[in-house]
Amino acid sequence: MWNHNDVAKALPDICWSTPARIWQRKASPPLYLITEHTSFYERYGWKYLCMVKGDDGKQMRMYKKDTLL
């Protein structure tokens, strides 16, 4: 049985592994993510780039992930 921690750990791989394989064949650009979470995405291969201002004016973190596996 999965608990919320298991789902949180698996979600990035589930969401990005198949699209990344497809995009890899098409030489697509990297993916970018803006979030308020700190350090979560870094554990799953996302690279922190900088702080940006969100639509609501709050400071958010911007991450980058290459689509090549």
Whole-model pTM: value is: 0.59
d(CA 59, CA 45): 22
* Span 5-57, pLDDT tens digits: 555 566 566 565 666 566 555 656 888 999 998 888 998 889 999 999 989 99
User: Residue 26's Cα: distance from chain center in Å?
Assistant: 19
Amino acid, res. 52: V
Asked whether 42 and 48 are in contact (CB, 8 A), the reply is yes
